[in-house]
Amino acid sequence: MTLLPADRMATALSNTGTNPLVCPPAVDYPLSEPRMLLRLLGLVWGLALAIDIFWLFAAPADDWRPWAGLLVTLCAGAVAWRCGPLTQAGVLVWDGAAWFWERPALRLQGQPGVRLDVQSGMLVHFLSDTGATCWMWLDQTSRPDAWLALRRAAHAAAGRAAVTPAAEERAAHP
């Protein structure tokens, strides 16, 4: 077995811009109807409704504020039901070097940021290189065989994004 000198190894690893020893494998993940998100939002709305009903019975009979709270909760539920969740169509792709959000007529390169990870679902903020942003809910049920690879890649992207500016600063000012 031949070992590479440290300078040749560093050059080999940096030529691609990614380190294959720590870079997660390529993965593509379809965006689908977020069942878990729908359940979570329904639970939050139901809790708000229960609190409003409790408030209605606990408040004095001539107090208008519980009725206003109940009206706001019912209107919010109706709007959410009518509009549905703000889901995006397409596929989120990590090719081993860059992230892409592929839609039927468009392919945007960018960087995902995991904002919430609840093991079987993730809320991701995708910032494209053009400046366009998109919020996505990724659900494990869309493609269970690739779920762990997606989570690894998404969290690794967040780590690289946090480390890169500091590394560039050190390189600029030795």
- Annotate 64-129 with DSSP letters as a single string: -HHHHHHHHHHHHHHHHHHH------EEEEE-SS-EEEEETTEEEEEEEEEEEE-SSEEEEEEEET
pLDDT tens digits, one per residue of 29-63? 988 777 777 788 889 999 999 999 999 999 998 89
Residue 14 domain-assigned? no
How far is 156 from 116, CA to CA, in rounded Å? 15
**48 near 73, Cβ under 8 Å?**
yes
Helices 65-83 and 35-58 cross at an angle (nearest 10°) of 160
Q: Which band of pLDDT confidence, cut at 50, 70 and 90, is reported for residue 144? A: very high
Domain encompassing residue 122 = 26-33+87-172
Residue 145 domain-assigned? yes
Q: Do residues 77 and 151 both lie within one domain?
A: no
pLDDT tens digits, one per residue of 89-98? 789 999 988 9
Please, what is the end-to-end C-alpha distance for the chain in angstroms? 35
Q: Do residues 150 and 164 both lie within one domain?
A: yes
pLDDT tens digits, one per residue of 90-119? 899 999 889 998 888 888 999 999 999 988
- Boundary residue ending a domain (13, 48, 83): 83
Number of independent structural domains in the chain:
2
The pLDDT score that the predictor gives to residue 19 is 54
Q: Do residues 73 and 101 both lie within one domain?
A: no
